[in-house]
Structure 1
Amino acid sequence: MPRTTGTTFSAQQLETRYRNSFGRAAGYLPKNRAALDAWLEDFSRGVHERRARNAIVRRRSVDDLARLIERDGIVRMYVSLMIDKANELHPDAKHRVNDIPDLLDHLDCIVTSTPEYHPQGDPDRNFFPLSSLFVYMMMTEPGYAVFRDQGFNRALLGILREWCAHLDSDDSQEVVNRTDGWLSPAAWDELGLDQFRIDPDDPHGGFPSYNAFFHRELKDDARPIDGDPNVVVSANDGRVVRIRRNIEHRDEQFWAKGQLYSLADMLDGSDLTDSFIGGDVFQSFLSGGDYHRWHAPVTGVVRSARVVEALMFTELEGVEEPNAGTQSQVYGASVNTRGLVFIEAPAPIGMVCVMPLGMTEISSVTLTVRPGDQVTKGDQLGYFSYGGSSMCLLFQKGAIGEFLVPDNTTGDMEKGDPIKVNAGIARTTGRA
C-alpha cells in the first residue's frame, strides 16, 4: 500500500489494509471491520460520558506520556497528525478520539479495564482494547513514525505496565467466574480448560487475578515430553509461522516485505550471535487462548538469559498482501520486546536460543531461569502475561537434520500447522 500524506485510503484500500493487518490476522481484532468500528464507538462513548461526569482519574503512566507529548514538539506533531489522519479513515464515527487530551482519557480508561469473556460469534467479542484503539492510527504515516519513536515507546511501555499491574491485582478477578466469565461452560470448551490446574472448589478457580488465569499452568500429564534424545521439542503451544534455514548474520532488508531474519538485530548484539550464522529459525505464534508458558526445547545449561525492552505496537509499513500479518511477525523478531535465553546443549545440538516475542497489549516477557541453571527438556523457562506473543527458536548450523512439522507456505497464520509444547518439532543430525 502506498504511504499516505494528505490523502485518505479508498474504501477498498482501507478494507484490504485492515484485513491484512497483524491484529486481524492474529485474531486479536474482529474479522468484520464493522464490529471493530462499533466497539470503538461504544468505548469512546463511555469515555466521553465519564469525562462529562468528571469520573476519569489521570493515571501516573498516562501523565508521563502527557508530559512527553507536551515537551517534545516532534512527538506532539506526530501524535496530533496521527489522530487526524486516523479520523479521516472513518469520518462518519459519532464517537472517537478527537485530539491528544481525548487520547489520554481513552488510555486512562483502558489502564483499569479487564478483558471480559464473550463466546465465539458474539459481536461484542473483543479482548484487545489497545490494539483496537490504535489500529487506524497505525495505518497512517505519522502513526508508523510515532510508534517507532523510542521516547513514545518507553512512555507507552509504562502505560502497559500499569495495566499489567491492574490485571495482576484482585481488582481484575471478577471476570474469572463460572457463570459468564473465563470459567463459564463456553470458555471451558473453547479454551480446553480441562487440561489446566483449576481449583474445582473455588468460584474463581483458584486464580487471584486475570493474569493468573491468563498464564495458567497445565496439568502434569497434559503435554507429555518426547523423550527421544535426538528430538527437539516445541517450547510452546501455537501454530507454525515460518521455518528458515541458512540464516544470515545481518540482513539489511529485515524491515522490508518478503524480508529474511537478521541475526545481529534479533540477538541484540549478543556475543553468541556468530554461533547461529548459517543455522535455522523456527517461528511460531500463540493466539490469545493458547497456553502462555514456555519450556526448554532441549536439555542443557542456561548460558545467558535477559529481556530486551524494545517496540510493541509496530508492524511493517505499506504491506497489503494477504501474508502481511506473517511478515510483520518476522519483522517483529528484530525490533520487538523479546527474551533471549541461550541454552548450551550437548553435541550435536550445541547452542540454542529461545526467543519469546512480546507483541501488542502487555508485551510482558517474564523469565523464570537464570544463567547457570541446568534445565531438562520440558522444564519451564518463563511466561507471557496478557498480550500477543510469538516465539523464535534459533539453532546452530548443522544441528538440525530435519524439521518434523511443515513450514507454513500459505502466509496465513491461522493455517500454520498446530504445535504443542513438549512435542517433537525437529530431529538432530545425530552426529556429535
Structure 2
Amino acid sequence: MSDAIPQAVLEARYQRSFGRLAGYLPEDREAVEEWLAGLVRTAADSTQDWSTAVKRLDALIQRDGTVRQYVTEMIEQVPVNCAGPADIPQLLACLDHIGRHAPQYAPKGKRNFFPMSALFVHMMETEAGEVAFRLTEFNNALRDILKEWCDHLDSPASRTVLDKDTGWLSRDAWREFRLDDFDIPDPHDEYGGFKCFNAFFHREIKPDKRPVDPSREGIVSPNDGKVYRYAQVTSPDDRFWLKAQSYSLTDMVRGRERARPFVGGWVFQSFLSGADYHRWRSPVAGTVSRVELVPALMFSETVRPDPTAGTYSQGYQASVNTRGLVFIDSDFGKQVCVMPIGITEISSVRFAEGLQGKRVEKGTELGWFSYGGSSMCVLFENGLIDRFTVPNNDPIEGDPDGGAPIKVNARIATANL
C-alpha cells in the first residue's frame, strides 16, 4: 500500500467519495474501515472454493498483464492507513464472500448496504483504479461476479436477512422504509412471504400510494427519486450538463439516427437512492417501439474531481454505464425514451415481459432495478414538452444532492397539445 495520508484528508476524500453522498455508504468512514477489516478477516478464514465467476477473474488477471498491472497498482496505491485487501488473492476472496451473502439491515450511520462499493471505495480514488475500472475485460469479469451475486439475491437462501427481529422487516426498518405503503405478501410469515431478498427489494407499492396523474396533458415521472437536472439539447453531439464530459444524445442512445428526433428536445434526469421504490413506469401513453439493454461500465466515475461522485458522475454514467433503452411512440405523436441506468453493483436493469410492440398507458410498469439505487433519464422529442412542473436543479452551482423529490406516476411536465 502507499504512504499514509492525514486522517483529515482521508475523511474529506471519503465524504465526497462515490456513494457516500448518494447514501450508498455509511456516513461514518470508520464504519467502512471496520467493515473492510472484518471482510478481509472473514474471507481469509473461508474454506470454500471460489465461485466460477471469481475463478474466471483470477484466470484473467493471471493471463492479462495489463489487467494484472492496474489491479495490482490500485491495491498498492490505497493509503496504508485505509483498510482493505493487501493483494490480489485477498481481493478475490473478498469478492467471493460478497457474492454469497445478502446485504444486512443496519441503522443509519453504521450501515453498509453496498458491499462492492465499500470494497472498491479506496481503490476507485487511485490513479490506477481510474484506469482499471474502464478496462473492458476487467469490467466484464466484475459483471459476471455481480450476476452470480444477483442470482443469490434471487434465491430463497438470501431471504434470511429479512427477519423481523433485526432484519429488513424489523420494526426500525418498517418505519424507515414506510413498509405500510407496500404490498407485503404475508405479514405474518417470518420473511413477510417474500421468496428472496430481491423480491423484497423491488416489492410492489400499493396503487393508492402512487396514483397516476389523470390529466390528458400530464407527463409523469417514471420513478421515485430526486431531480438531478433537466436540459434542452441543440445537437446530437452536444456536450452538455457537465463541463468537460462527453455526454451527448448520440452516446446515450447509441447512434446519431436514434438521437435525431430528440435534438431540440429535453433530457430529464433523476436519481434513486437505495431506499426509494425501484420499479419504473411509462411517463406517457403510447406504443413501445424498441427495447434494448446496453451492458457497459459499472464502477467507473468521471475522471475530473467530483465533489459528490454519486451525483456529479451521473451525467458521465448516462453515456458509459449499463443502461436500458425503452423507446415509446407516444399518443402525442412524439417519441419518448426511458433510460434506466445501473450504478456500481446496481447494474441489474430488468424489463417487464413482452414490452416490444406493446401498447402502454401512462403508469404502465416497464421494469425494475434489482438491488440498489440508480439513475433515470427520460428523453423527450423536440416539441413534446410545453413546460416542466417540478423545479430544476443545478448540480454545478447549487446542491447536487438537493433536487426536488419526485414520485412515480406524479406529473413532472405538461405536453404541447
Call closer, same or farther: CA 1:248–1:32 in 2, change over 3 Å. farther
Give the drift of 1:119: 2.1
> Does 1:366 pair with 2:358?
no
Q: In the aligned structure 2, how far is the partner of 1:286 from the partner of 1:12?
A: 30
Aligned ranges for residues 283-322 of structure 1 at < 5 Å? Answer: 283-321=269-307
Spell out, residue by residue over 1:5-45, the C-alpha distance to the aligned partner (whole angstroms, 9 max, x if none). x8876655443332222311211011222221121112212
Give the drift of 1:320: 4.3
1:157 corresponds to which residue? 143
1:97 corresponds to which residue? 85
* 1:244 corresponds to which of 231, 240, 252: 231
Is 1:404–1:426's contact at 8 Å kept on the other side of the alignment? yes
Letter in 2 for 1:92: N
Give the drift of 1:263: 0.4
Give the drift of 1:388: 2.9
> Does 1:280 pair with 2:266?
yes
SS at match of 2:325: strand
**Is there any run of 5+ residues in structure 1 with no aligned partner, and where?**
1-5
> Does 1:352 pair with 2:345?
no
2:383 corresponds to which residue? 398
SS at match of 2:77: helix
Aligned ranges for residues 11-160 of structure 1 at < 5 Å? Answer: 11-50=7-46, 55-86=47-78, 89=79, 91-92=80-81, 96-121=84-109, 123=110, 125-160=111-146
Letter in 1 for 2:30: A
1:408 corresponds to which residue? 393
Q: In the aligned structure 2, how far is the partner of 1:193 from the partner of 1:288?
A: 14
Give the drift of 1:257: 4.3
Is 1:239–1:416's contact at 8 Å kept on the other side of the alignment? yes
Letter in 1 for 2:165: T
SS at match of 1:306: strand
Spell out, residue by residue over 1:358-403, the C-alpha distance to the aligned partner (whole angstroms, 9 max, x if none). 0011410001142210000000000100133110011011211111
SS at match of 1:216: coil
> Does 1:424 pair with 2:408?
no
2:178 corresponds to which residue? 192
> Does 1:336 pair with 2:332?
no
Is 2:157–2:196's contact at 8 Å kept on the other side of the alignment? yes
Give the drift of 1:246: 2.5
Q: In the aligned structure 2, how far is the partner of 1:324 from the partner of 1:212?
A: 29
Give the RMSD, CA atoms, in angstroms.
Answer: 2.0
Call closer, same or farther: CA 1:378–1:253 in 2, change over 3 Å. closer
Q: In the aligned structure 2, how far is the partner of 1:377 from the partner of 1:153?
A: 36
Give the drift of 1:346: 2.2
1:3 corresponds to which residue? none
Which shows bigger deviation, 242-251 or 152-161?
242-251
Q: In the aligned structure 2, how far is the partner of 1:266 from the partner of 1:399?
A: 19
Spell out, residue by residue over 1:129-174, the C-alpha distance to the aligned partner (whole angstroms, 9 max, x if none). 1000001101111101010111111111000000000010011011
Spell out, residue by residue over 1:302-348, the C-alpha distance to the aligned partner (whole angstroms, 9 max, x if none). 00001000001111123143x44322011100000000000011235
Aligned ranges for residues 257-276 of structure 1 at < 5 Å? Answer: 257=243, 259=245, 261-269=247-255, 271-276=257-262
Letter in 2 for 1:297: P
Is 1:239–1:413's contact at 8 Å kept on the other side of the alignment? no
Letter in 2 for 1:142: A
Q: In the aligned structure 2, how far is the partner of 1:247 from the partner of 1:351?
A: 17
Q: In the aligned structure 1, how far is the partner of 2:68 from the partner of 2:404?
A: 43
Is 1:226–1:233's contact at 8 Å kept on the other side of the alignment? yes
2:220 corresponds to which residue? 233
Q: In the aligned structure 2, how far is the partner of 1:106 from the partner of 1:362?
A: 18
Letter in 1 for 2:284: V
Aligned residues: 413
Spell out, residue by residue over 1:225-268, the C-alpha distance to the aligned partner (whole angstroms, 9 max, x if none). 001111100000111111111253113588x6464740010002
Q: In the aligned structure 1, how far is the partner of 2:38 from the partner of 2:193?
A: 33
SS at match of 2:214: coil
Letter in 2 for 1:104: L
Call closer, same or farther: CA 1:298–1:260 in 2, change over 3 Å. farther
Letter in 2 for 1:117: Y
Q: In the aligned structure 2, how far is the partner of 1:206 from the partner of 1:126?
A: 25
